Amino acid sequence: MKWGTPSRGAGRTEVLGTPSILVVEDDDALRSLIVASLAGHGHRLEGVSSGPEVLERIVRPPKVDLLILDLMLGSMSGWDVLNELERMGLRSELRVLVLTALGSEQDIHEGWRRGVDLYLAKPFDPTALLEGVREVLLSAPERTAERREEEIRKTQLFNFIDRVFDED
C-alpha cells in the first residue's frame, strides 16, 4: 500500500497519491529536524514558522493533508490557528498532529477536546513521529474520533480521581 490521501473504507484507509504535510514550528533548527525525519518516506513536505503563514498556505494548492502543529508559535498560538481554521470552515478537511512542549495532562486533554488527531510532546523521538504520521494518515476518521473520545473519557476519569484524593 502506498502513502497518500486517505479515503474511507471498512474501518481502514486506502491510500492514493502523495500526502502533503505542512510542518508548523517557529524554531528553524527544529523545523528542519522534523522535515528531515519525515523526508524519504513518500510525503510532500513544507515548513512554515508562524500562524499567519499557516493560514496563508492552507488556502493555496496543493491541498494539505496533515498539519504538524506546534502550539507555542509567538503572537498567534497553535490553538489560535485551530480556531481560525474552524472559523474559515477548513478544520474538518485537515488532519492535525500536535507536536509541542506543552505536555501536561490538561494540555493533552485540551488537544483531544479540540479535535486533534494525535498529540505528541517534545522532546520527541523521530521514529515515534514517523509512526504517528503514518497512524494519522492511515487511520479511518471514524477510528480517530473513537480514539479521541476514549482519551477524553480517560482524562476526565483521572481528573475525577485526582479531585477525590485531593479532598482527603
Predicted local distance difference test score (pLDDT) of residue 25: 97
User: What are the pLDDT digits (tens) for 124-134?
Assistant: 999 999 999 99
DSSP string of the chain? ----EEEEETTEEEEES--EEEEE-SSHHHHHHHHHHHTTSS-EEEEE-SHHHHHHHHTSSSPP-EEEE-S--SSS-HHHHHHHHHHTT-GGG-EEEEEES--SHHHHHHHHHTT-SEEEESS--HHHHHHHHHHHHHS-HHHHHHHHHHHHHHHHHHHHHHHHHHT-
Taking the model in full, what pTM does it have? Answer: 0.79
Predicted local distance difference test score (pLDDT) of residue 7: 38
pLDDT band at 54 (very low <50, low <70, confident <90, very high): very high
pLDDT band at 109 (very low <50, low <70, confident <90, very high): confident
User: What are the pLDDT digits (tens) for 66-89?
Assistant: 999 999 998 999 999 999 999 999
Tell me what the pLDDT averaged over the chain comes to: 85
Predicted local distance difference test score (pLDDT) of residue 168: 58
Can you tell me the distance from the alpha carbon of 116 to that of 73, in angstroms, rounded to the nearest whole number? 17
145: pLDDT strictly greater than 70: yes
